């Protein structure tokens, strides 16, 4: 949603709304969070800004009220803009020192488009150009109840909390601006030259978004590929060949498109083999998977669904993601039933019919690699 | 309320559990009292390398079997090596308790074959290379080496390229035989666990653990020789780095010192990532990416870490701010309301963390292995509650001494 030349505005916004809101000064907000014991978080993804906290149950009413002030009545003080901009600059610089992050940030832009895949930390040009008017206009365009989601999990009385939310948010009005037209990525490979100890390899390809009815067929394949120590990438790239310490792949989704992203880090002389074996394993999914591989993945999903009940934070994260991508909360039972019903044949057939297309590979290291055509 | 139970088997293995039948999961782990500080120069990095090798199979299982079974049990499992401990743990649904105890216990008597050793050596070298690309990681390693010296607590957990290249399976097997004796190990459990079943199964499976033939102690290191691949220079050159990094180490209470609670709260007030004095001075104002202070506790001593990451040109000004804030807290202590907030924040996070057996496991296992002590949640919260302003002032005076060791990771231009 950021204007083209204001990369990093959403992140700056997220910082600015916490610098005073409603009756609270910037310092009041932090002190109240500490006194209530809120383990708070705020952040920006490609599509959402989020504010949340885990807390002892007794702190919920005050936490809700604080959260409502932050999203509805932030002061956005002009005299704090410079400090907030400096915070953004710090973050940009810190990413420069994390090669994995650099590779994955660039890969996301290549995959989704310069705007749609823009990293939350933005870019130096965007941050340097930022004015307080940009912040205020972004706020009035996007901090609106339409499209906003509030999720709560844990020990509370629903009727009481609903009443509280009604009081705090019931008269919140306005709708979001029309979403800007999203750009699309391009299929290309890039190399970032750096005299690093490892060659850092990021790869991605087009895949179904979360809301796709067949998403779990995609996800099961990625699970066989990368979930757990017996997964194909871990076993064949790391365990059998000792090519790297880290190798992984996972699904990611915007509202309308998805992708599979992967990463491997390895010393330059073994980087070509790492890339070749990794890509070979991805292609091999379409040749077949074992019943046991799929079963192991099913048990993992089942266990994590049950254990998720021990953590209110992960329950909240799932609810938000479901609501955003699917327009409703999908229960653990429902997911379990879908997963349980998947067969090897369906998964393999899906991967055969949706063989990875538009591959992108980004490397950071002393020398570029030969990227096989896909 | 959870209940605590413990026992020691004839072979010497200690078992400790915090049982909470309300849990959805069961967490189990082997806590082995061995780590980087127990190594000699030729063994540098062996504790961590061995941790990897423990997943490579046993008499009854191949390496692939171990990984496959861990996945079949569907939980979260992993291992880590520190200066003083090596820990193997898993969280599973209670119905899989018997199978995970069988697997983890079997893993404690590994095959350690030459072939697996050679392959895994490459993975360890990759892990070292991975961290070489992280300037702050290098700064922390060097800071430990400079503060504690290149051996003992200053020994790098990963070892060095040189020590890992030179490592042999014989060195590893000898180290294993000395350090993985039953009496050096605690089996800990937390959550929805059946303690009697664990004890019965472990008793059966560890009967022959006491027969492990111990290799002789290795030749002591020659203190006049500096270990290969190690430097004690104050500054690490990081030519490509966008930021400058400073790590400072000073004394702090050991793991059994009652003063550790006051010291932790003092560090929270002064240098927690949010709401602390460092935060308002350097983070909220955007002067530094990170400015923090925290203690780490070991068996016989502790270390207070002060960490700064910022633009290279701001390093001196930020370091001066840190010194000023430290001087103030030593001179005047802190305010009543700061202490109250630090307590609320710490207590809330302890309560929330205790919801998950996977978190409780580490409290139970570390406490029993390192201190022979179990502290229930209520008791721990009370210890934080009891900290006074005078305790904070005393903690500041003890830990924030001027004679701290400093290490910098800097781009070439600043050297």
Domains, chain A, with CATH or none: 9-169 (3.30.830.10), 189-365 (3.30.830.10)
Nearest to B289 among A26, A94, A307 (CB): A94
**pLDDT tens profile B365-389:** 999 999 999 999 999 999 999 999 9
Give the pLDDT score at A182: 82
Give the gyration radius of chain A's Cα atoms. Answer: 22
Q: How far apart are CA A18 and CA A22, in angstroms?
A: 11
Instruction: Decide: A221 and A250 in contact? Cβ < 8 Å.
Output: no
Interface subset of B 296-335, CB within 8 angstroms of A: 309-311
Query: Could you report how far apart the first and last alpha carbons of chain A are, in Å?
Result: 32
User: CB distance from B385 to chain A under 8 Å?
Assistant: no
**pLDDT tens profile B295-330:** 999 999 999 999 999 999 999 999 999 999 999 999
Q: How far apart are CA B256 and CA B253, in angstroms?
A: 8
- For A294, the token pair is 């799929």
H or E segment at B322?
helix B315-332
- For B107, the token pair is 């893993």
Computed from CA positions of residues A217, A218, A223, A225, in that sequence, does the dihedral angle turn out positive or negative?
Answer: positive
Residue from B86, B105, B97, B96 nearest B45 by CA: B86
Q: How far apart are CA B138 and CA B128, in angstroms?
A: 10
Side-chain half-sphere CA neighbours of A362 within 13 A: 24
Give the pLDDT score at A347: 98
Nearest to B126 among A195, A244, A299 (CB): A244
Q: How far apart are CA B193 and CA B200, in angstroms?
A: 13
A265 contacts on B by Cβ (under 8 Å): 126, 129-130, 133
Q: How far apart are CA B414 and CA B407, in angstroms?
A: 14
- For A165, the token pair is 């939310």
B240 contacts on A by Cβ (under 8 Å): 194-196
Give the pLDDT score at A187: 87
Whether A220 shows a pLDDT value over 50: the answer reads yes
Q: How far apart are CA B93 and CA A24, in angstroms?
A: 44
Judge: B126–A231 Cβ closer than 8 Å, yes or no. no
- Residue A289 sits at the vertex; the CA angle it makes with A283 and A290, to the nearest 5 degrees, is 155
Computed from CA positions of residues B177, B178, B183, B188, in that sequence, does the dihedral angle turn out positive or negative?
Answer: negative
- Residue A328 sits at the vertex; the CA angle it makes with A44 and A17, to the nearest 5 degrees, is 25
Q: How far apart are CA A317 and CA A339, in angstroms?
A: 20
User: CB distance from B345 to chain A under 8 Å?
Assistant: yes
Phi and psi, residue A127, nearest 5°? -65, -40
Whether A374 shows a pLDDT value over 70: the answer reads no
Residue A39's alpha-carbon distances to A36, A53, A79, in angstroms, are 9, 5, 27
Judge: B275–A90 Cβ closer than 8 Å, yes or no. no
Q: How far apart are CA B103 and CA B306, in angstroms?
A: 40
User: CB distance from A28 to chain B under 8 Å?
Assistant: no
Residue B332's alpha-carbon distances to A264, B252, B286, B322, in angstroms, are 50, 19, 26, 15
B132 contacts on A by Cβ (under 8 Å): 196-198
**pLDDT tens profile A29-75:** 999 999 999 999 999 998 899 999 999 999 999 999 999 999 999 99
A296 contacts on B by Cβ (under 8 Å): 68, 71-72, 74
User: CB distance from A109 to chain B under 8 Å?
Assistant: no
User: CB distance from B126 to chain A under 8 Å?
Assistant: yes
**pLDDT tens profile B39-65:** 999 999 999 999 999 999 999 999 999
Give the pLDDT score at A39: 93
Whether A266 shows a pLDDT value over 80: the answer reads yes
**What 3-state class would DSSP assign to A189?**
strand
Judge: B134–A59 Cβ closer than 8 Å, yes or no. no
Q: How far apart are CA B269 and CA B326, in angstroms?
A: 11
Interface subset of A 143-202, CB within 8 angstroms of B: 194-198, 200
Q: Say what the pTM is.
A: 0.94
Computed from CA positions of residues B61, B86, B96, B70, in that sequence, does the dihedral angle turn out positive or negative?
Answer: negative
**What 3-state class would DSSP assign to B74?**
coil
Whether B412 shows a pLDDT value over 60: the answer reads no
Residue B380's alpha-carbon distances to B42, B373, B375, B383, in angstroms, are 41, 12, 6, 5
The mean pLDDT value for A247-253 works out to: 97
Q: How far apart are CA B387 and CA B384, in angstroms?
A: 6
User: CB distance from A220 to chain B under 8 Å?
Assistant: no
Partnered with residue B189 across adjacent β-strands are: B17, B28
B21 contacts on A by Cβ (under 8 Å): none
Give the pLDDT score at B413: 52
Residue with the two structure tokens 């303690």: B195
Q: How many whole angstroms from its chain centre is CA A124?
A: 22
Q: Which pLDDT band, with edges at 50, 70 and 90, does B240 fall under?
A: confident
- The complex's ipTM works out to 0.91
**pLDDT tens profile A293-311:** 999 999 999 999 988 888 8
Give the gyration radius of chain B's Cα atoms. Answer: 23
Q: Which pLDDT band, with edges at 50, 70 and 90, does A275 fall under?
A: very high
User: CB distance from A309 to chain B under 8 Å?
Assistant: yes
Whether A317 shows a pLDDT value over 70: the answer reads yes
**pLDDT tens profile A170-219:** 999 988 777 777 888 988 999 999 999 999 999 999 999 999 999 999 99
Q: How far apart are CA B263 and CA B347, in angstroms?
A: 15
Residue A223's alpha-carbon distances to A229, A262, A304, A319, B31, in angstroms, are 11, 12, 13, 21, 30
Q: How far apart are CA B52 and CA A242, in angstroms?
A: 12
Q: How far apart are CA B182 and CA B172, in angstroms?
A: 18
Whether B415 shows a pLDDT value over 50: the answer reads no
Q: How far apart are CA A40 and CA A34, in angstroms?
A: 9
**pLDDT tens profile A92-141:** 999 999 999 999 999 999 999 999 999 999 999 999 999 999 999 999 99
Give the percent of chain B with pLDDT over 70.
Answer: 99
Judge: A228–B135 Cβ closer than 8 Å, yes or no. no
Query: Could you report how far apart the first and last alpha carbons of chain B are, in Å?
Result: 57
**pLDDT tens profile B254-279:** 999 999 999 999 999 999 999 999 99
The mean pLDDT value for A279-302 works out to: 96
Q: How far apart are CA A115 and CA A181, in angstroms?
A: 10
Instruction: Decide: A48 and A324 in contact? Cβ < 8 Å.
Output: yes
Whether B209 shows a pLDDT value over 60: the answer reads yes
Q: Which pLDDT band, with edges at 50, 70 and 90, does A147 fall under?
A: confident
Computed from CA positions of residues B389, B390, B395, B396, in that sequence, does the dihedral angle turn out positive or negative?
Answer: positive
A-B CB pairs within 8 A amount to 184
For helices B389-399 and B315-332, what crossing angle results, to 10°? 130
Residue with the two structure tokens 């000004």: B317
Q: How far apart are CA B289 and CA B306, in angstroms?
A: 14
- Please tell me the distance in Å from B367's CA to the nearest CA on chain A: 23
Whether B414 shows a pLDDT value over 70: the answer reads no
User: CB distance from A13 to chain B under 8 Å?
Assistant: no
Average pLDDT of chain A, as a whole number: 94
């Amino acid at each position: 949603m950021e204007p083209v030349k204001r990369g990093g505005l959403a992140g700056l916004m997220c910082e600015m709304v916490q610098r005073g809101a409603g009756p609270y000064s910037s310092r009041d907000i932090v002190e109240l969070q500490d006194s209530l014991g809120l383990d708070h978080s705020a952040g920006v993804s490609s599509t959402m800004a989020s504010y949340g906290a885990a807390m002892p149950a007794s702190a919920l009413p005050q936490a809700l009220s604080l959260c409502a002030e932050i999203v509805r009545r932030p002061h956005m003080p002009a005299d704090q803009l410079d400090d907030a901009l400096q915070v953004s600059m710090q973050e940009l610089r810190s990413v420069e020192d994390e090669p994995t992050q650099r590779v994955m940030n660039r890969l996301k832009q290549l995959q989704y488009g310069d705007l749609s895949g823009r990293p939350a930390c933005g870019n130096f040009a965007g941050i340097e150009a930022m004015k307080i008017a940009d912040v205020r206009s972004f706020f009035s365009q996007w901090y609106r109840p339409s499209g906003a989601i509030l999720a709560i999990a844990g020990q509370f009385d629903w009727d009481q909390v609903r009443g509280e939310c009604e009081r705090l948010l019931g008269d919140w009005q306005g709708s979001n601006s029309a979403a800007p037209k999203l750009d699309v990525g391009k299929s290309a490979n890039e190399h970032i030259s750096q005299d690093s100890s490892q060659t850092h390899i990021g790869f991605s390809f087009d895949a179904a978004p979360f809301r796709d009815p067949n998403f779990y067929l995609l996800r099961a394949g990625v699970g066989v590929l990368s979930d757990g120590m017996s997964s194909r990438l871990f076993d064949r790239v790391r365990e059998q060949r000792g090519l790297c310490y880290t190798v992984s792949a996972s699904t990611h989704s915007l509202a309308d498109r998805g992708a599979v992203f992967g990463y491997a880090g390895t010393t330059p002389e073994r980087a070509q083999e790492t890339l070749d074996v990794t890509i070979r394993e991805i292609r091999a999914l379409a040749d077949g998977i074992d019943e046991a591989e799929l079963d192991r993945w099913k048990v993992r999903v089942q266990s994590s669904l049950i254990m998720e009940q021990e953590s209110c934070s992960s329950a909240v994260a799932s609810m938000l993601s479901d609501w955003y991508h699917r327009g409703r909360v999908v229960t653990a039972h429902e997911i379990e039933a879908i997963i349980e019903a998947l067969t090897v044949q369906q998964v393999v057939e899906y991967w055969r019919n949706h063989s990875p297309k538009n591959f992108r590979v980004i490397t950071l290291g002393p020398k570029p690699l030969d990227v096989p055509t896909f | 309320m959870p209940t605590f139970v413990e026992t020691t088997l004839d072979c010497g293995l200690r078992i400790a559990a915090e049982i909470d039948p309300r849990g959805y999961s069961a967490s189990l782990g082997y806590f082995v009292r061995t780590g980087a500080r127990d190594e000699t120069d030729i063994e540098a990095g062996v504790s961590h390398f061995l941790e990897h090798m423990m997943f490579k199979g046993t008499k009854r299982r191949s390496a692939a079997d171990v990984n496959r079974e861990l996945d079949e049990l569907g939980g979260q499992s992993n291992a880590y090596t520190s200066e003083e401990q090596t820990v193997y743990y898993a969280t599973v649904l209670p119905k899989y308790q018997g199978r995970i105890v069988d697997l983890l216990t079997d893993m404690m008597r590994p095959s350690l074959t030459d072939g697996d050793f050679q392959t895994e050596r490459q993975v360890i070298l990759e892990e070292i290379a991975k961290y070489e690309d992280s300037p702050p990681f290098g700064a922390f390693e060097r800071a430990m080496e400079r503060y504690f010296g290149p051996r003992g607590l200053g020994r790098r957990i990963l070892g060095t390229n040189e020590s890992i290249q030179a490592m042999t399976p014989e060195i590893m097997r000898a180290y294993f035989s000395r350090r993985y004796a039953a009496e050096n190990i605690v089996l800990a459990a937390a959550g929805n666990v059946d303690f009697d079943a664990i004890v019965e199964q472990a008793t059966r499976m560890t009967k022959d653990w006491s027969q492990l033939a111990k290799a002789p102690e290795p030749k002591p290191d020659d203190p006049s020789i500096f270990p290969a691949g190690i430097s004690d220079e104050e500054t690490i050159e990081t030519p490509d780095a966008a930021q400058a990094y400073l790590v400072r180490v000073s004394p702090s209470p050991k793991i059994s010192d009652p003063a550790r609670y006051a010291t932790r709260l003092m560090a929270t007030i002064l240098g927690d990532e949010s709401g602390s004095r460092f935060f308002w001075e350097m983070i909220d104002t955007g002067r530094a990416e990170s400015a923090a202070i925290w203690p780490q506790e070991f068996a016989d001593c502790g270390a207070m870490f002060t960490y700064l990451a910022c633009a290279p040109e701001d390093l001196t000004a930020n370091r001066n701010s840190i010194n000023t804030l430290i001087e103030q807290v030593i001179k005047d202590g802190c305010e009543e309301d700061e202490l109250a907030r630090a307590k609320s924040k710490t207590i809330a996070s302890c309560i929330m963390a205790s919801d998950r057996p996977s978190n409780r496991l580490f409290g139970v296992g570390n406490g029993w292995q390192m201190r022979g002590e179990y502290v229930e949640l209520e008791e721990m919260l009370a210890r934080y509650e009891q900290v006074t302003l005078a305790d904070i002032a005393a903690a500041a005076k003890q830990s924030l001494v001027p004679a701290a060791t400093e290490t910098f990771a800097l781009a070439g231009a600043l050297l």
